[in-house]
Amino acid sequence: MTQVRKAKADHRRAQVDAYATVARALVQSGAVDPEGKSADDVAGEVRDFLLARPDLRFTFVLDHRMDLLKQARAFFAETRAELACVFYATWTEHHLNSILASACDRRRLSESTAREILRVSVAAKLSWLPEVLGLPTLNAKHRSAILAVADARNSFVHYKWQGDKTGSSASPEEVRARKALEHYSSTVRYLQAYERRVIFKRSKRRISRRSKPAA
């Protein structure tokens, strides 16, 4: 009996996870608009969308952001600032690309066009590209912080093997990385909040709370 209950619970969790994944994807793409709607309303729209498209097929994409951020924080806690910068910069670009890819999807741009758009520089992703895609301008302070971390990451990855003439025990790359990361946790929170507000319209928790699509 215990095994039966466990199997049912596992099945239920799988249903919940599957619904949340599909619902988030539909919100990200703009197919479902959650603004001003309850969890039940969103679930009903998800159901109606899927029922109207019985042949719809999804392509699932791995999201590495949680692992990248966990590793960045671990290196930062170990005072290994240069390696922390590598992972924070990579997390940041993954996060920006997720937001921009969602904007491309909502504008019904082709996959090839979206790929070309996402190949532009980090500086472009922080300046003119959001405007072109109809996204709100990113905060100037956080734009500067992102560019500083990207520069520190590039300095470390493209290491020039130059000695330090100041007598400091820390390399110039390490000093630059430490400075770039001083307040970067607030930039991470800002980017996460930006995605929740602009892309998900603060619906992530409502989607997670909803146990399954409306019957």
Residues 114 and 39 reside in one and the same domain: no
What band does 22 get if pLDDT is binned at 50, 70 and 90? confident
Q: For 16-30, 117-131, 143-157, 192-206, which range has the lowest pLDDT when averaged over its residues?
A: 16-30
Q: How far apart are the first and last CA of the chain?
A: 27
Residue 195 lies in a domain: no
Residues 175 and 72 reside in one and the same domain: yes
pLDDT > 90: what percent of the chain?
51
Residue 163 lies in a domain: yes
Residues 133 and 149 reside in one and the same domain: yes
Residues 56 and 145 reside in one and the same domain: no
Residue 194 lies in a domain: no
The whole-number average pLDDT for the span 59-76 is 92
Residues 33 and 72 reside in one and the same domain: no
Residue 6 lies in a domain: yes
What is the sign, positive or negative, of the torsion defined by CA atoms of 135, 40, 38, 139?
negative
Residues 155 and 70 reside in one and the same domain: yes
Number of domains in the chain: 2
0.95 surpassed by pTM = no
Residue that the structure tokens 């920006």 belong to:
96
Residues 13 and 109 reside in one and the same domain: no
Residue 198 lies in a domain: no
Residues 7 and 82 reside in one and the same domain: no
Residues 93 and 133 reside in one and the same domain: yes
Residues 119 and 38 reside in one and the same domain: no
Residues 73 and 54 reside in one and the same domain: no
Q: For 21-25, 97-101, 195-199, which range has the lowest pLDDT when averaged over its residues?
A: 21-25
The whole-number average pLDDT for the span 62-85 is 95
Alpha-carbon distance of 136 to 95, in angstroms, equals: 15
Residue 52 lies in a domain: yes
Residue 196 lies in a domain: no
The whole-number average pLDDT for the span 105-122 is 94
pLDDT computed for residue 203 by the predictor: 66
pLDDT computed for residue 66 by the predictor: 96
pLDDT computed for residue 185 by the predictor: 96
What is the overall mean pLDDT for the chain?
Answer: 84
Residue that the structure tokens 């608009």 belong to:
33
pLDDT at position 167 over 60: no
Residues in Cβ contact with 1 at an 8 Å cutoff, skipping those fewer than 6 apart: none
Alpha-carbon distance of 108 to 118, in angstroms, equals: 15
Q: How many CB atoms lie within 10 A of CB 148?
A: 20
Residues 70 and 176 reside in one and the same domain: yes
Range of the domain at 115: 65-182
Residue 142 lies in a domain: yes
